Structure 1
Amino acid sequence: MPLAAADPKSGDLKSGDPKSALRRQALARRRDVDPATRAALSGRLAAVGLEWARRWRPRIVAAFSPIRDEPDCRPLIAALQAHGFATALPVASGRSAPLAFRLWRAGEPLLRGALGAPEPGAAAPLVEPDLLFVPLAAFDRRGHRIGYGAGFYDHALRRLRASGPIRAVGVAYSVSEIAAAPDEPHDQRLDFILTEREWIDARGRG
């Protein structure tokens, strides 16, 4: 049931914005997700994510390295690579730098990035994905998300959408759903959200 509603440890990089309380509440719920639910989402993500990738045939699929209590995308990445898809991970050079994406395959080295997430090194080619699996703290059924407050994915999605059609899929536990996420003109909506229970089509929901 949807609930109404920094530093790297809290996940709240911008404690003064109107989304801060919702973010903190959502992250607290996410921390309490049980291992069975975590495994269910990871397995569902690999199966459903691959199914939709095979339908859409993207050139590059971006996922993310899990940090803190985020869902585990590694089985999805392995499934995508096993079926011939090129995969990438996000790279953040700092809070003021734009988010970029670099090609990565399982087994290749990862470095600790500026914000603490494992990232491909500078030798990995930069790419522009057209299917993105996006992390979040909270979401609503209109496709609005609350991230960690730095706006990385909003900027990245805006840039990618300006260049051509892409699809953005939020990855979240069902406890991360809220009734309505505050939205601003610069916010970029998700097209879909995948939880351990549902595949939510957020397009056209207003």
Structure 2
Amino acid sequence: MPATDETLPPDPVPGPAKPDLRRSALSCRAGVPAADRQTFAEQLAVRGVDLARRAMAHTVALYWPIGDEADPRLLLQALDYHEFTTLLPVTVGRGQPLVFRKWKWGQPLVEGPMRIPEPSPRLPEARPDMLFVPLAAFDRRGFRIGYGAGHYDATLQKLRATRAVPAIGIGFACQEIGRVPHEPHDQPLDIIMTERETIDCSIAFSDPPDRNDA
């Protein structure tokens, strides 16, 4: 688990605001070529299953991609094939923890309140042992910038209140920034997977405090 906020030094100087960092990272993400997207999706199907096995997870939550997000659907199929229980999130309300429902590849989806496909409310809820998380931007300490609704921070805070639950961010290398401005409620990721590498966020805290933020 990455260091908690209490162990982190404060940001030395104010940097760009989250909305500006988000816009820049999303602009870079939009420019990723289709061939690179497909290659990364295929990589995720192998690397993600390996991470789930190493974490000894049984129930694994993913996300349904929107826009030009990194696509975990091949990973979802691979986890299902290897007999993990796969979950997809259901949005309850802004800033509220997500609910997760069991969902197997091929089952129908319904449009959620944010117009994102979600499992049917008739499917059973389950608690994830591990989460794969979308992001707009990230840094090597494991802090992410999402889309501003606060769903994943609230979700991880609730899940981690009783036990450690690893969270793996999925994004393209171009979405990395030097330092994400963090607040006390922000929940860091344990690992970030890009098309270039798998980043163990726990080791980033040994970096010198004047690490290049460019």
TM-score by length of 1: 0.89
5+ residue gaps in structure 1? 1-16
Equivalent-residue separation in structure 2 for 1:187 and 1:97 (angstroms): 14
The number of residues matched between the two structures is 190
- Decide whether the 8 Å contact of 2:136 with 2:144 is kept in 1: yes
How far off is 1:37 after superposition?
A: 1.2
- 1:41 is matched with 40
Q: Equivalences for 1:109-124 in 2 at 5 Å?
A: 109-124=108-123
- Decide whether the 8 Å contact of 1:98 with 1:152 is kept in 2: yes
- Decide whether the 8 Å contact of 1:137 with 1:147 is kept in 2: yes
- 1:200 is matched with 199
Structure of larger gyration radius: 2
Equivalent-residue separation in structure 2 for 1:94 and 1:166 (angstroms): 22
- 2:106 is matched with 107
- 1:52 is matched with 51
- 2:189 is matched with 190
5+ residue gaps in structure 2? 1-15, 206-214
Q: Equivalences for 1:28-177 in 2 at 5 Å?
A: 28-177=27-176
Equivalent-residue separation in structure 2 for 1:116 and 1:138 (angstroms): 22
In structure 2, do the counterparts of structure 1 residues 151 and 96 end up closer, same or farther at CA, with 3 Å as the change threshold? closer
- Decide whether the 8 Å contact of 1:46 with 1:79 is kept in 2: yes
Extract structure 1 runs of 4+ deviating beyond 3 A.
none
How far off is 1:59 after superposition?
A: 2.1
- Decide whether the 8 Å contact of 2:25 with 2:174 is kept in 1: yes
Letter of the aligned partner of 2:180 in structure 1? A
How far off is 1:96 after superposition?
A: 4.9
Q: Aligned to 1:33, what secondary structure does the other structure show? A: coil
Q: Once superposed, what is the RMSD of the aligned Cα atoms? A: 1.3
Per-residue CA deviations over 1:163-185 (Å, capped at 9, x if unaligned) read 21211000000110001111001
How far off is 1:52 after superposition?
A: 1.5
Q: Aligned to 2:22, what secondary structure does the other structure show? A: helix
Equivalent-residue separation in structure 1 for 2:95 and 2:192 (angstroms): 27
